[in-house]
Amino acid sequence: MRSLQHLVLLPLLAAPLAAQLAGNYTINPDWPAAGTNYTSFAAAVADLAALGVASPVFFDVFDDAGPYNEGSPFTTANGSHAPNTAVLAMGSWAGTSSTNRVTFRAAPGEAPILDATGRAMGVFWGGADYVTIEGFEIRSASYDAVSLYAESTHGVAYDPIIRRCRIHDCGGTGVTIYGNTAFPVNTLVESNFFWRLQLTNNGSFNTTGRFGYVTTRRSTNTRIVHNTFLMDTGVGSSCCAIGAYPSGATEIPYAEISNNVVLKTAAAGTPILRIQSPAGGPLPTVSNSNCFYDLTASPFALYGTNAATIAATLIDWQTNTGRDLQSLWADPALRDLATPDLHLQLTSPCFTASTVDFGSTTDIDGQPRAISRDMGADEISGALLASVGAGCPGTGALSPVLWSNSWPFLGNPSFGLLGRNLPPFAPMFTFVSFGTTTTPYVVGAGCNVYLQLAYLTALPVLAGAGTGGTASVVINWPNNAAYVGVNFGFQAMVIDAGAPLGLTLTNALDVVLGF
């Protein structure tokens, strides 16, 4: 005969509680929602909220289904950003700590895009502690790409990290770090590319907390290091590349602004730096080893009470504040402003020019930083990467594109050859030769081969497109100095029943390996 105690325990034994999250997971909408895979950011966040974490957690994010455009709701009691939705909306989760971080990152060889079209934010932090986002392209938010806005409704973010992201084409800021009664603490913004931000400057707090490419209000110990800013747009009277609007004289808006590159080509009349401090309010604790250049003949910085003090030039700023004494005023020689490609050319004055050792170990491409570090998000490798020719049209009159958001430096274990505009589930065969040709071999139906036929070889990897028409092939470049300067060409053939030839060809990529 069973005791009452046994009867009470039976349901628990039959249906054990789900375990806390720990270890590695994936986010891929094209794979089943089973095992360790989640089909959306929202599903992953729901489990984090329900279960908490027991050890470090990593979510490797795939781009197989195309850009992520989720509309997860977030709540703010002070100000509206309608629609109050974000592609990734987070919250506070049990068990996170300095040793139990949660990391959302691009899977090796993948290029996940957080497309916030029709959303207020790309990422809304929601008070999440000890969280890293890494390796994403974040674009097209109505307001901010990443918001760390903190209030009692959802708590304050502690130790957030935004690393190795490409942030662009948003109505508001790239990163907003803004608290009310609680302050975001220890925010790190490291090794990112920023461009085409502050397109509209609409929404709440657009003159106090979210008016530049990166801005702070009521934050503690924020560090902005090794980023590259192309300030090629900007709307609003308070617009700037890096700004702060402290609420009290004892607030320290930035613990460090170092090793950044800022090239300003637009928003005439607005400064690169805007630190609108109360009377006696502090400037950044460390601001040094940056490379600045402004083509618009604007003041370098506005600071002090009501940002009424003008530093017309970097020299004025250095003389009057004692900051940026080892910073440069020079054209950083970015590779291509039109594309844009914000990697540095070998002729850049930022090459080996860093004088402040923040401790950053890798650049935006995952390349290890040298002992003599470069300024900006990019550590120069001497590599080259260029598109040659164009693909030929197939299903839906779309031409497949071969591209990469990685960089061909020696030892890169996850250089991705990425295909897009492919029919869903289409096979992609990739070919390599020594370099490309200026006289393509004409196949017909608008298709051309841009590789050297005498050296043409098929890579022993078959890639299949996902539902979003993307595919990838990962190459592990050897870490051998003998390969420096070696020139490869890559091109892909896509099986496409809707194409005149039953197949299409992509453009080619011309790749020169760098150190």
CATH label of the domain that carries residue 494? 2.60.40
| Domain annotation covers residue 360 | no
Structure tokens at 480: 């051998």
d(CA 243, CA 213) in angstroms, rounded, equals 8
For the four alpha carbons of 22, 27, 33 and 39, in that order, the dihedral sign comes to positive
d(CA 97, CA 431) in angstroms, rounded, equals 46
Domain identity same for 46 and 194: yes
Ranges of the chain whose pLDDT falls below 50: 1-17
Contact 326, 288 (CB under 8 A): yes
Contact 317, 283 (CB under 8 A): no
**Structural domain span for residue 463:** 384-512
CATH number of 311's domain: 2.160.20
| Domain annotation covers residue 312 | yes
Domain identity same for 60 and 201: yes
List % helix, strand, coil for the chain (3-state, nearest 5). Answer: 10, 35, 55
Strand partners, 305: 277
Contact 492, 461 (CB under 8 A): no
Q: Which residue has the tokens 């607030």?
A: 251
Can you count the helices (H) and strands (E) in the chain? 3, 40
Domain identity same for 40 and 182: yes
Domain identity same for 146 and 273: yes
| Count: domains in the chain | 2
Domain identity same for 161 and 56: yes
Domain identity same for 324 and 447: no
Q: Which residue has the tokens 């071969």?
A: 402
E-strand stretches of 421-483: 427-433, 436-444, 447-451, 457-464, 471-475
| Domain annotation covers residue 3 | no
Task: Please say which residue of 295, 312, 344 terminates a domain.
Answer: 344
| Domain annotation covers residue 378 | no
Domain identity same for 318 and 390: no
Task: Please say which residue of 294, 324, 344 terminates a domain.
Answer: 344
Domain identity same for 261 and 397: no
Domain identity same for 319 and 429: no
Cα 328 to its chain centre, rounded Å, is 25
| Domain annotation covers residue 444 | yes
Residue in 227, 238, 228 with CA at minimum distance from that of residue 274: 238
Domain identity same for 85 and 215: yes
Q: Which residue has the tokens 């002070």?
A: 78
| Domain annotation covers residue 425 | yes
Domain identity same for 302 and 397: no
- For residue 15, the model assigns a pLDDT of 39
